[in-house]
Structure 1
Amino acid sequence: MHKDYGRVNMNGVIINPACSISSDNAEQTIDLGLITQETLNNTAAVTYPFTINLINCVFLHAEENKEMQSTLGLRFDGPSEPGSSWFNLGESSKGLAFQILDGQSNVVIPGAVMRVHKHDGENKKLNYSLRLIKKIPQVKSGRFHSMVYFTLIHQ
């Protein structure tokens, strides 16, 4: 009788995830409505607020376990030019782009991770705003559309 022997090695880490994105706003549409050329041409920027709700947040304090201390980041990805601080609206943009600002008016850099500040409690509202900006002195009329993805990153 011939016997073959083998071995299976296993390893892993049990984590306590810091937060989840609430399903009621994981996909959002910001309807900018009708905006006149005059408004855009005579205004530096037009701003629209939106919120991302985090739920089931658990943060470990440094005193409890330094190695497992968790921080959160949020990254916005979408059409942009390398090194720019704005997102593109595509060919039909008529001279417009947009920026995303956090609750402290810091501009979100496309593709960069921004730290989400720690807090007490299980739920957190992250306030952001979308700001339309002019790329040319006089914008033209027409429709525009863009899609941006946001990712919650546990670090």
Structure 2
Amino acid sequence: MLTNWTVRIERLALDLMLDQGKRQPVLLSVVLKGRAAANPMAPAACFNRDQLVAWLQDDWSGRPRGPLLENHVNDVLARCFEMDAYIDSAWVGLYEAGPPPRQGLIGIERGIARREYLAQCRLKKGSAQALPERARTAQSLSQIINADSEMLLKKV
């Protein structure tokens, strides 16, 4: 029997490679929701949270990237959906320390459902040969989401 599960990673401290090879301390939070075995008997029946944390600490944080936190967040969201089929939705928050004297956290957050993620992947593949992504209409995105949903339902 399947049940709803939530995996939460709160304020994971990382040194993220940002502009020009400079490392910057950041905090990362991740919330994953999905359905998995109610009484799992093996790791394969569970969310793969250890693999995600290892990837974040060992691989993701060391890669050089551009200045946009949005791109870093999108990288984490993509990895979440690609590594674990149990995940139905994911939310990521990436925060930098604010400037003194009012320190605090300043960052960006994004949440997305798997079907939206799949639609965006399909849209991204198609946009390389067609119109730029921003020129696509909401109607075409809706059609892609519906087509993906129908395909997933047929597999079940």
TM-score when scaled to structure 1? 0.25
Structure whose residues are more often helix by fraction: 2
TM-score when scaled to structure 2? 0.25
Report the structure number with the largest CA radius of gyration: 1
- Structure possessing the higher relative contact order (Cα contacts under 8 Å, 6 or more residues apart): 1
